A and B are shown apart, each in its own frame.
Chain A
């Protein structure tokens, strides 16, 4: 390399770093996520029931991030309030996104235990919804996220029936099945799902099961974890710590 060549390359290098350095975060994300290799990840979520305060911020953030319809029966994630009373009866109600708790007329004296349980798609390793889809519109990607192909889905509602956790709904506008996908567009950019991002008490944790150092790796090592409906052998990847036996 002669001197002229060296100087030309130096100028090019400075110019190119200047250009890329001045790019917006969104432009960066576009470049980064094209290098995203799904086979190197396997995502899961950890939920510490003892930390959930039932503020509903996750439900609101999910609706904002994923443009979920506003009416309070369309949810990709939601929080249930469990009340176990002295007569051993169990009341379950979904809290509102406005943080206003349902007034169910339960007096504190009658409560034995009460807590909040956040719920979302369990991203099962053996998903019943994938099995039943007649057109192959729903599938598990390499990083362990169950996705819905909105162009292929015919809106037959078979998956909505098959899901044992009730996480799917029929989108009123697109008329296809919709559900939580761990905010897939955020994962590929290296961001946390919106619900995990806004959770004020870190009741929700997100991580990569293929990485020992991820927060989820620590969560499943340090807690006694449980999954929902383990007897169905769906092998969920949403792990609950301090889960009460009454939750199903």
Chain B
């Protein structure tokens, strides 16, 4: 108390004002400001709830098949089996909520399928791709292909229908005269189920040796001594048989 009496009066007054302000602010913080503005856990929970309450626009394929069993049945066996309904039909939660009032879109034009199926060199090998400028131009895709179970309209006639790149390189190589089936045994089913039934590749050195071992080759065909050349390797591990010049 003596310390306070020693202070000059103006300082004392300022001190009193500060004490009142500080008490006021503490009271406001304690009683006026709601708890969810102070507690980080509450703030974060509120954010999580706000995010969770947002409206979902894609219903999910599990909801679609509850009514559209027929389409699901068609789709199940085809190449599009893993494709979600809403990949093509667009967000359909509104349609699921009121099926008669809101109808989802059905892309019927050519320009939708090419999102996935136009040729692009960056796409993985084996993914079915076409050049939209030359593949039946201006015809909607759905005139020939059922989008729920798409298939080639007829089994491909030649290997080049799918393996055009190999066909082109082979045409300029020493093996140009050989048909694909000379080296690859191709079951007929490979044309309709390319992924499940696959052709063979020569798996023995002796296969190439039929033409390329010493003494067996026709005139002009390069030959090697099979006993010493290439050791344990199958020939095509070093020599790519389709390649230009057959290196």
Q: Which residues of A contact B (CB under 8 A)?
A: 24-26, 29, 33, 36, 38, 50-57, 61, 64-65, 81-83, 98-99, 101, 108, 111, 114-116, 136, 139, 141, 147-152, 181, 183-186, 188-189, 191-192, 194, 197-202
Contacts and interface: CB of A to CB of B under 8 A. Distances in A.
Nearest to B82: A202
Contacts of B60: 191-192, 197
Nearest 3 A/B pairs, CB to CB: A99-B115, A185-B54, A114-B122
A65 B122 contact: no
A189 B56 contact: yes
A81 B124 CA distance: 12
A36 B52 contact: yes
A98 B120 CA distance: 14
Contacts of A116: 122-123
A206 to B, nearest CB: 12
B83 interface: yes
B115 A56 contact: yes
Interface stretch (B2-10, B39-47, B198-206): B39-47
B115 A149 contact: no
B53 interface: yes
Given A25-B96, A149-B43, A185 B56 contact: yes
30 contacts: A24-B97, A26-B55, A26-B93, A53-B123, A64-B91, A65-B57, A65-B58, A65-B91, A81-B122, A99-B115, A99-B116, A101-B120, A116-B122, A116-B123, A139-B44, A147-B47, A148-B47, A149-B47, A181-B51, A185-B53, A186-B56, A186-B58, A188-B52, A189-B56, A194-B57, A197-B87, A198-B86, A199-B84, A200-B84, A202-B82
Nearest to A83: B122
Nearest to B125: A50
A120 to B, nearest CB: 16
B122 A185 contact: no
Contacts of B57: 64-65, 194
Contacts of A61: 58, 86, 91
B31 interface: no
Contacts of A188: 52
Nearest to A99: B115
Interface string B108-123: 0000001110101111
Contacts of A184: 48, 51-52, 54
Given A24-B97, A65-B58, A54 B43 contact: no
A114 B121 contact: yes
B176 interface: no
A114 B121 CA distance: 7
Contacts of B43: 136, 149, 152
B63 interface: yes
Nearest to A66: B54
A202 B81 CA distance: 11
A82 B123 CA distance: 11
Contacts of B87: 57, 197-200
Given A25-B63, A99-B115, A197-B61, A65 B56 contact: yes
B167 interface: no
Interface string B55-96: 111111101000000000000000010111011001101001
A242 B203 CA distance: 27
Given A64-B57, A184-B48, A185-B54, A99 B122 contact: no
Contacts of B63: 25
Contacts of A139: 40, 44, 47
Contacts of A201: 82, 127
Contacts of B40: 136, 139
Given A65-B56, A147-B51, A185-B51, A99 B114 contact: yes
B36 to A, nearest CB: 11
Nearest to A26: B97
Contact of B124 (A26, A51, A141): A51
B33 to A, nearest CB: 14
B52 A33 contact: yes
